[in-house]
Amino acid sequence: MFVQSSVSTKRNYYDYEDLLLKTFFDIIKTGDLNLLKKDKKRIVGTNLEEIWESIIKRHNDNNGNFDFNNYVDAIRSYAYLLSEYMIIKACLLKLSMKLNYDVVIELNERGYVIDYTTPQRFRETLQAANSRSNNLVTKIISKQKEIEKYGTKGGKGAPLTFAKALMDLSGALGYSIPRDITLAEFDEGKKLIKKRHGRNNNTR
């Protein structure tokens, strides 16, 4: 049986102490940091990325399965690529409807050259830019898989899912673990298992 942590109810987001293990795995899989919110309202003056990084760091300190620096780099790269893709697609959509010189400059600065000297060149370079921007999808998917890798045991083997994590912990402790277990409680459970193994090894 785990002791529930004393957590302030005034916060409108979850942190390491009260984040459910299931939600933790959901964020790992989807990258949706909005799951950290306790309601759907905008959190004024709060950076969800910083909250998530803090959660990962504490999990890393208590569990040791995550390479924190590499994970944070992967998250930031993923966010940058996704933002870049959305901006470029939005610019291309605007140009497909009407020539806009400010948008052309925006794309040029991002390495997507749009030639509007003739209508044909405009269409050709617009199509070329659109095709090139699709390459970002491959990079985004690759980075997402890299992030999901950190949800495995030490980054190796099959991905550790919520269901498997619950089953492994229940089996090791010898009793059923509730589905509403928090990440902090899960880490405490793993510490307890390590202590038991340590005592068993010392008695041999």
The 10s digit of each residue's pLDDT in 55-77 is 888 888 876 655 666 777 787 78
Q: Of residues 129 and 64, which shows the higher confidence score?
A: 129
Q: Which long-range contacts (CB under 8 A, 24 or more apart) does 161-170 make?
A: 161/25, 162/21, 162/22, 162/25, 162/26, 165/21, 165/25, 166/21, 169/193
For residues 122 and 87, state if they share a domain.
yes
> What is the band of 6 on the pLDDT scale with cuts at 50, 70, 90?
very low
* Within a domain: 33: yes
For residues 48 and 82, state if they share a domain.
no
For residues 125 and 101, state if they share a domain.
yes
Q: In this predicted structure, what is the pLDDT of residue 129?
A: 96
Give Cα 2 distance to the centre of its chain. Answer: 27
* Within a domain: 3: no
* Within a domain: 106: yes
* Within a domain: 99: yes
Burial class for 111, CB neighbours closer than 10 Å (0-12, 13-18, 19+): exposed
Structural domain boundaries enclosing 79: 75-139
Note whether 179 and 158 are within 8 A (CB).
no
Q: Domain total for the chain?
A: 2
How many residues are given for the chain?
A: 204
> What is the band of 172 on the pLDDT scale with cuts at 50, 70, 90?
confident
Write down the H helix ranges in 98-182.
101-109, 119-133, 135-149, 162-173
For residues 87 and 60, state if they share a domain.
no
Query: Is pLDDT at 202 greater than 70 in this prediction?
Result: no
Note whether 95 and 114 are within 8 A (CB).
yes
* Within a domain: 149: no
For residues 35 and 80, state if they share a domain.
no
For residues 123 and 91, state if they share a domain.
yes
* Within a domain: 193: yes
Q: Comparing 1-15, 95-109, 162-176, which segment has the lowest mean pLDDT?
A: 1-15
For residues 91 and 125, state if they share a domain.
yes
Query: Is pLDDT at 145 greater than 50 in this prediction?
Result: yes
- Indicate yes or no: pTM above 0.85: no
* Within a domain: 37: yes
Average of pLDDT values for 129-148? 90
* Within a domain: 152: no
Query: Is pLDDT at 102 greater than 90 in this prediction?
Result: yes
For residues 43 and 94, state if they share a domain.
no
Query: Is pLDDT at 136 greater than 90 in this prediction?
Result: yes
